[in-house]
């Protein structure tokens, strides 16, 4: 196999077994702090011999769209997922977890079809079917107790039971699972997707955050020790969404629309997913479907809300952020750095949160770290310096190694 074209870009099969980790919610602030305090020596060493840059995520900066951008090498306008959640043409709100929603194949499916063995391990089971589309072997840490490989229970291969999805080390279990499966499945390319439970709960420097990063660093070290070429990127950053007193800062759109006399609008919060204890369905971007006659009034009412940074049309959002126009609303709303967007106070159960609200979704969570263990070609280094996206990580690792 020389190269496989996926979504308009040619990918060379890895010259040596390679792995990409999506460190969910790993804002650059966590790594800057970790490097400054020498908390993550293996990753520091890895980028010293390789590359480290800040890249940008797909907007809205949510998990599903960005994981799909990473594995397809393409924006949401191509792969079809603008959020974790959307309003379907029948007027029902639907979780975007069914692979039938995807409009593009993954790099992994393309390589596998050309005879290159691949493997995917995800922490969150909500991504398993999406990432496994096209017959790619895909396992989840969340349901590892129900899955097996070649007749062997996954938890026996790892050597410990899988933690709960809200435990601090559920992400690490996904890497441990990959470390156990790689010698058996011998993939040339592996993708490991983590979860952001720790980042939603803890700021850089917090005890659990440090514990998370130290263990992540050890596991990245084990992958490097196996001779793997490693890329690490994030799906989005993470910011505190609280005021001076520590309480959540929320702009409630439906209340504002109602006060303005707008009827028949549907606010869609595309962060919505089964993991409500992370964020109570509160993120920093959303869209609103609205009757044309109400558009101007609704637009003004939302734009005047405290903490709303920008309101643009669905057409403008689709163009600016490469989103599938048919799957977003008529207005696209972005919150400021410290604010999240909700519908109305009764719709969000804040008692479920682990701690002070930390979340993502807007422009302030767009910068993500990108780490590559290898020296890059001048072209690849140029792309990274000019501003890569997380969707470029496989291109850089497969095509850009010197």
Of the candidates 11, 23, 24, 179, which one interacts with Zn ion according to CB under 5 A? 24
Residue 194 and residue 141 in contact, taking contact as beta carbons nearer than 8 Å = no
φ and ψ at 356, to 5 degrees? -55, 140
3-state class percentages of the chain: helix first, strand second, coil last, to nearest 5? 40, 20, 40
CA-closest candidate to residue 102, choices 123, 78, 119? 78
Tally of CA atoms within 13 A in the half-sphere of 362 that contains its CB: 26
Comparing CB distances to Zn ion, the nearer of 108 and 124 is 124
Comparing CB distances to Zn ion, the nearer of 33 and 235 is 235
Comparing CB distances to Zn ion, the nearer of 76 and 376 is 76
Comparing CB distances to Zn ion, the nearer of 358 and 395 is 358
Q: Which residue is nearest to Zn ion (CB)?
A: 63
Site string for Zn ion, 199-238 (x = CB under 5 A): ------------------------------------x---
Q: Centre a 10 Å sphere on the Cβ of residue 2 and count the other Cβ atoms it contains.
A: 7
**At 11, is the secondary structure helix, strand, or coil?**
strand
- Burial of residue 83 (CB within 10 Å: 0-12, 13-18, 19+) is buried
Determine if 63 is a binding residue for Zn ion (CB under 5 A): yes
Of the candidates 33, 169, 196, 273, which one interacts with Zn ion according to CB under 5 A? 196
Find the shortest distance in angstroms from Cβ 354 to Zn ion: 15
Determine if 272 is a binding residue for Zn ion (CB under 5 A): no
Find the shortest distance in angstroms from Cβ 149 to Zn ion: 26
Find the shortest distance in angstroms from Cβ 24 to Zn ion: 4
Find the shortest distance in angstroms from Cβ 199 to Zn ion: 8
Determine if 365 is a binding residue for Zn ion (CB under 5 A): no
Residue 28 and residue 19 in contact, taking contact as beta carbons nearer than 8 Å = no
Number of residues that bind Zn ion (CB under 5 A): 4
Which residues partner with 142 through β-bridges?
none
Find the shortest distance in angstroms from Cβ 365 to Zn ion: 9
- Tell me the DSSP string of 111-128: HHHTT--EEEEESSGGGH
Find the shortest distance in angstroms from Cβ 131 to Zn ion: 13
Comparing CB distances to Zn ion, the nearer of 70 and 78 is 70
Stretch that binds Zn ion, among 22-30, 108-116, 151-159, 347-355 (CB under 5 A): 22-30
Stretch that binds Zn ion, among 17-25, 143-151, 319-327, 388-396 (CB under 5 A): 17-25
Residue 380 and residue 401 in contact, taking contact as beta carbons nearer than 8 Å = yes
Find the shortest distance in angstroms from Cβ 127 to Zn ion: 10
Distance CA 230, CA 199 (A): 22
Comparing CB distances to Zn ion, the nearer of 63 and 188 is 63
Distance CA 66, CA 60 (A): 9
Find the shortest distance in angstroms from Cβ 58 to Zn ion: 11
Comparing CB distances to Zn ion, the nearer of 24 and 169 is 24
Number of helices and strands in the chain (H, E): 16, 21
**C-alpha 320: how far from chain center:** 19
Find the shortest distance in angstroms from Cβ 40 to Zn ion: 20
Comparing CB distances to Zn ion, the nearer of 196 and 254 is 196
Comparing CB distances to Zn ion, the nearer of 18 and 195 is 195
Q: Centre a 10 Å sphere on the Cβ of residue 205 and count the other Cβ atoms it contains.
A: 13
Distance CA 227, CA 243 (A): 46
CA-closest candidate to residue 63, choices 393, 392, 326, 365? 365
Contacts to Zn ion by CB under 5 A: 24, 63, 196, 235
């Amino acid at each position: 196999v020389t190269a496989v074209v996926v979504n308009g870009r040619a990918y060379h099969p890895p010259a040596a077994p390679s792995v990409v980790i999506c460190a969910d919610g790993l804002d650059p602030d966590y790594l800057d702090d970790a490097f400054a305090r020498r908390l993550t020596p293996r990753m520091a060493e890895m980028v010293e011999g390789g590359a480290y840059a800040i890249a940008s995520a797909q907007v809205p900066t949510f998990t599903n769209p960005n994981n799909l951008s990473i594995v397809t090498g393409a924006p949401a306008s191509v792969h079809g997922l603008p959020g974790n959640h959307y309003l379907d043409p029948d007027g029902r709100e639907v979780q975007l977890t069914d692979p039938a929603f995807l409009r593009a194949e993954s790099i992994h499916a393309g390589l596998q079809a050309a005879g290159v063995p691949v493997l995917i391990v995800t922490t969150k089971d909500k991504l398993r079917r999406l990432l496994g589309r096209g017959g790619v072997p895909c396992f989840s840490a969340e349901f590892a107790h129900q899955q097996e490989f070649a007749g062997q229970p996954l938890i026996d291969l790892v050597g410990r039971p899988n933690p709960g999805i809200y435990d601090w080390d559920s992400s690490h279990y996904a890497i441990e699972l990959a470390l156990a499966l790689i010698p058996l499945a011998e993939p040339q390319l592996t993708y490991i997707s983590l979860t952001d439970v720790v980042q939603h709960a803890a700021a850089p420097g917090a005890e659990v955050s440090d514990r998370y990063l130290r263990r992540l660093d050890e596991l990245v070290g084990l992958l490097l020790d196996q001779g793997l070429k490693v890329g690490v990127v994030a799906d989005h950053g993470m910011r505190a969404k609280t005021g001076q007193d520590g309480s959540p800062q929320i702009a409630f759109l439906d209340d504002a629309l109602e006060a303005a006399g707008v009827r028949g609008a549907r606010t869609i919060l595309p962060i919505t997913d089964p993991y409500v204890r992370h964020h109570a369905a509160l993120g920093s971007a959303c869209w609103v479907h609205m009757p044309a006659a109400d558009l101007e009034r609704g637009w003004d009412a939302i734009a005047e809300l405290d903490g709303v940074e920008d309101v643009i049309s669905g057409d403008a959002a689709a163009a600016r952020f490469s989103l599938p126009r048919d799957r977003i609303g008529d207005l696209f709303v972005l919150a400021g750095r410290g604010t999240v967007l909700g519908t109305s106070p009764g719709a969000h159960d804040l008692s479920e949160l682990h701690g002070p609200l930390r979340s993502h979704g807007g422009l302030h969570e767009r910068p993500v770290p990108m780490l590559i263990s290898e020296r890059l070609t001048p072209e690849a280094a140029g792309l990274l310096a000019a501003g890569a996206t997380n969707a470029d990580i496989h291109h850089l690792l497969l095509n850009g190694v010197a």
